[in-house]
Structure 1
Amino acid sequence: MVRYAFIESLRGQHTVQKMCRWARVSRSGYYKWRSRAPSARELRRLNAERMLTALFNRFKARYGSPRMTVELNESGFPISENTVAKLMEKQGLKARNGKGYKYFPDVLARNHVSDNLLRRNFSASKPNEKWVSDITYIKVEKGFVYLAVIMDLFSRKIIGWSLDTTMTNQLIMDAFRMAVASRKVEPGLILHSDRGVQYRSGEYQALLLNEGIRPSMSRKGNCWDNAAMESFFARFKVEALYAEDISTKQEAYSCVFDYIELFYNSHRRHSSLGYRSPRAYENEYAQMCA
């Protein structure tokens, strides 16, 4: 009954006797309503709230209502996104979020004749067709540490990364070697980056040449040409880095490892992949090709 529910919502603020008088209901009727067994509908709502809170905390407040809906449905609890959004609002569950990073296709994408081989075409038909790479920094107590990352555009999986206190050729070479060691590289693979001095170094270019990889670079000062990597770094910082108190290189390493290896590659659902994780998306592709 609505009146009883209203009284229940104000318990502790006023006496039951006074509220029953205001609502024009009997105290015995209110206490009988309060001691009744919850209905099937109420039980379902309570279970939904419990599961939602547990999953929200499990994913460290990284998921909003669309991904939480997928998680609940795959956990055997059918529920609509609209209902999930309402429950999250009611419980004050708000995902950590940052400004979306959008890009606009280059009008010269079909030419394929410049040093920018990618031309903002961030789609790939199979694994190891197009990789992208970039470097970002993480502030620590005594300066900065630098993170180099390589992503396969087919599944958005992070296949190579390296963290160090200096932004040297070695940083990106270590990330590259991790990527090559974990993937099957065939000649013709495109590896895109910006025009940073590390990516233009002779040592790094020699590594690409030895593997038959075609280097591709963004136009000068144009971050949109590497929007996929910019987007990943934005998500990493919002979903992991800004939620931690990072003081040392070791703490930064632990944060990166936890996010990439334990969450992003294995569990983070991408809307562009049909709300599947990079690993699940690649596994499905491998099964189709078997």
Structure 2
Amino acid sequence: MKKSHQHILQERQLTYEFVSDNSTMFSVESMCKTLDISSSAYYEWKKDIPSQRKIAWEKDTRLVLKEYNESKCRYGSHKITAVLNQNGVSTSRNRVARIMKRNGIKSCICKSYKPQTTRSDHGKRVALNHLNREFKTNEPCKVWVSDLTYVPTEHGWLYLTAIMDLFDHSIVGWSMSEDMTAENTVMKAWEMAKRNRKPKSERLFHSDQGVRYVAEELKKRI
């Protein structure tokens, strides 16, 4: 039966691959002669095969462009590298940076929005500064200090409130909330601090003059 052209090409491809796989053990010329193929034809086939380095580069380029586009052009080389490594792709920041430079892309950094966590224009009565920068105390539960900050996440802002005991600088109470109400921020942290330290005497509670810290509900609770 006469072989089809497609079948002949497939056999030749397999033969070339056999020669390539065994080229470290035998000479290419001797294998080509034994298998009755042209060595020059084999080298032409070899030249047309993309190198493993080129294949890897093209693969990494596709992955980098994918993460860049999915981030709406916000991610730079540091962030893209971190995401790829988390997804099991082993690459370096320098390699990602080279890929981005070669493709003419860079992080589009927008001015980030920062929520205002301290509002002191509330018009409410505030306490005097009794702490006066005396940040050392020799007894636990004598001085607690507190502050509120924000944490950006993929799903929006979270607000972290912490209370520290200046005796050992331990965080004795904290809360994480999606809003900045006194009930969900300072008061939850206050209740945790009381449970953890179980104070038995009066103590000084120091904070900024933000609206959460002068809330009437918090004053009653304290």
User: Normalising by the residue count of structure 1, what TM-score does the alignment of the two structures yield?
Assistant: 0.32
The structure with more radius of gyration: 2
Q: Which has the higher helix share?
A: 1
User: Normalising by the residue count of structure 2, what TM-score does the alignment of the two structures yield?
Assistant: 0.41
